[in-house]
Amino acid sequence: MKAVGVVEASCESIFELVMGMDGTRFEWDCCFQYGSLVEEVDGHTAILYHRLQLDWCSVFVWPRDLCYVRYWRRNDDGSYVVLFRSREHANCGPHPGFVRAHIESGGFNISPLKPRNGRPRTQVQHLMQIDLKGWAVGYFPSFQQHCLLKMLNSVAGLREWFAQTDESHTTPRIPVMVNMNSNPASSKKGRRGQETSIQPIPTLDHAASRHSVLLDEDSDDDEDYQIPEPEQEVFCPKFEHDNKRTVLEDPSDKIDLSLDQIDLSCFSGNLRRDDRDNSRDCWRVSDGNNFRVRSKHFSYDKTKVPAGKPLMELVAVDWLKDVKRMDHVARRRGCAVQVASAKGLFSLAVNVQVPASNHYSMVFYL
């Protein structure tokens, strides 16, 4: 049998809720009594133990439990597929007082829909083909149908759960850190002075200083902050003068070498740094000259130059693991971003997330 419903939530939020086996599941799954992880095969496959809360003549009918393998995948269109099938396991034998039911096939299909009124919408399909076993199935045909319909009611439970908790679980806004050493008045004067200057080819540093704005990460008004078009008064480059200049310029000549004046030992993560070639479980920074990037005159002569020294220095790396997705890692007390903020330094955290039954995050601090 199959149940289909539309839930006003993102596919990722529904997927995380479906994969959870904690106390939150009681709020939307009326058939859930207890669940635990038996074995994690890999990042996409796990074997689970699950007790059902069926509430059908509990005086005469024993409760049911399950031991099944759960597999999930994420498709290119952003949809998720979660599949169930019963499996015997040496560490999950029959439990006294329970009848072991058998899932022939089942799972969730979570597909994105077009948003309505700016809110995400997702179609959730719950399929289940189960044999509850025991003597009650043969004597009471309504027992199987009643329990199966109750299990499929979880789709309605998901819809109601997000309808009543969407507003109360909004993520607090986090301001993105900009240049903390200069006040707004001085930065405006600096930008105005740069705008009036004549430069043949604007650099990336110039554009960043002109358009640096303090934005809220989860603000609904992000669309209002549009980067203005380049001013039409900018003079075109003089090709005769550019051709006479040396093509292979060292980009590190114009980079501020203030990194040498910063004590990087105060930044640390749970992964150590080791520059040896045969080291393991660590991180290292490759030489920038191993990479070639487009020169300033690439559009004219297709030349490339060594990357040279980076604009930002990688100072620490964290490898994190949790049962839930780890967002807003810059809030973690004692992390490199917090240390940089206390010292008035600009910092950047790149959170590479690997979703699974246990979520992983590798955070790079620059």
| 306-334 tens-digit pLDDT | 888 877 888 888 888 888 888 888 877 77
Domain assignment present for 177:
no
pLDDT value, residue 42:
86
243: containing domain: 237-365
Helix (H, G, I), strand (E, B) or coil at 361: strand
Indicate whether 143 and 259 sit together in one domain. Answer: no
If you average pLDDT over every residue of the chain, what do you get?
Answer: 73
Percentage, residues of the chain above pLDDT 70: 67
Indicate whether 151 and 9 sit together in one domain. Answer: yes
pLDDT value, residue 195:
45
Helix (H, G, I), strand (E, B) or coil at 182: coil
Is 213's pLDDT higher than 50? no
| Strands 292-294 and 45-52, bridge-based pairing | unpaired
Indicate whether 264 and 155 sit together in one domain. Answer: no
Indicate whether 11 and 110 sit together in one domain. Answer: yes
Contact 34, 67 (CB under 8 A): no
pLDDT value, residue 122:
93
CB atoms within 10 A of CB 335: 21
Indicate whether 14 and 161 sit together in one domain. Answer: yes
**Burial of 126: CB neighbours in 10 Å, binned 0-12, 13-18, 19+:** buried
**Which of 142, 165, 188 represents a domain boundary (last residue)?**
165
How far CA 272 is from CA of 276, 317, 346, in Å, comes to 12, 8, 22
Domain assignment present for 51:
yes
Taking the alpha carbons of 194, 198, 203, 207 in that order, is the dihedral positive or negative?
A: positive
Q: What are phi and psi of 301, to 5 degrees?
A: -125, 5
Provide the 8-state DSSP code for 347: -
Indicate whether 11 and 144 sit together in one domain. Answer: yes
Q: What is the pTM of this model?
A: 0.46
Question: CA dihedral defined by 328, 333, 337, 339, rounded to 10 degrees?
Answer: 170
What is d(CA 20, CA 36) in angstroms, rounded to the nearest whole number?
Answer: 10
- Residue in 55, 53, 2 with CA at minimum distance from that of residue 31: 53
Mean pLDDT of 277-285: 82
| 155-191 tens-digit pLDDT | 888 888 888 864 444 333 333 333 334 444 444 444 4
Indicate whether 241 and 359 sit together in one domain. Answer: yes
The residues, any chain, with a CB within 8 Å of residue 37's CB and separated by 6 or more, are 21, 46, 47, 48, 49, 357
DSSP 92-147: B-PPTT-EE-EEEEEEEEEEEEEEETTEEEEEEEEEEEEE--SHHHHH-HHHHHHH
What is d(CA 51, CA 59) in angstroms, rounded to the nearest whole number?
Answer: 17
Is 45's pLDDT higher than 80? yes
Domain assignment present for 227:
no
| 76-124 tens-digit pLDDT | 888 999 999 998 888 888 888 888 888 888 899 999 999 888 889 999 9
Domain assignment present for 141:
yes
Indicate whether 141 and 278 sit together in one domain. Answer: no
Domain assignment present for 170:
no
Indicate whether 141 and 250 sit together in one domain. Answer: no
Indicate whether 148 and 278 sit together in one domain. Answer: no
Domain assignment present for 211:
no
What is d(CA 347, CA 314) in angstroms, rounded to the nearest whole number?
Answer: 10
Indicate whether 158 and 58 sit together in one domain. Answer: yes
Indicate whether 7 and 145 sit together in one domain. Answer: yes
Domain assignment present for 212:
no
| Strands 292-294 and 304-306, bridge-based pairing | antiparallel
**Which of 165, 183, 211 represents a domain boundary (last residue)?**
165
| Number of domains composing the chain | 2
Domain assignment present for 183:
no
Amino acid letter, 30: C
**Which of 165, 181, 206 represents a domain boundary (last residue)?**
165
Angle at 199 between CA 196 and CA 202, to 5 degrees: 105
Query: What are 140's strand-pairing partners?
Result: none
> What's the CATH code of the domain at 115?
3.30.530.20
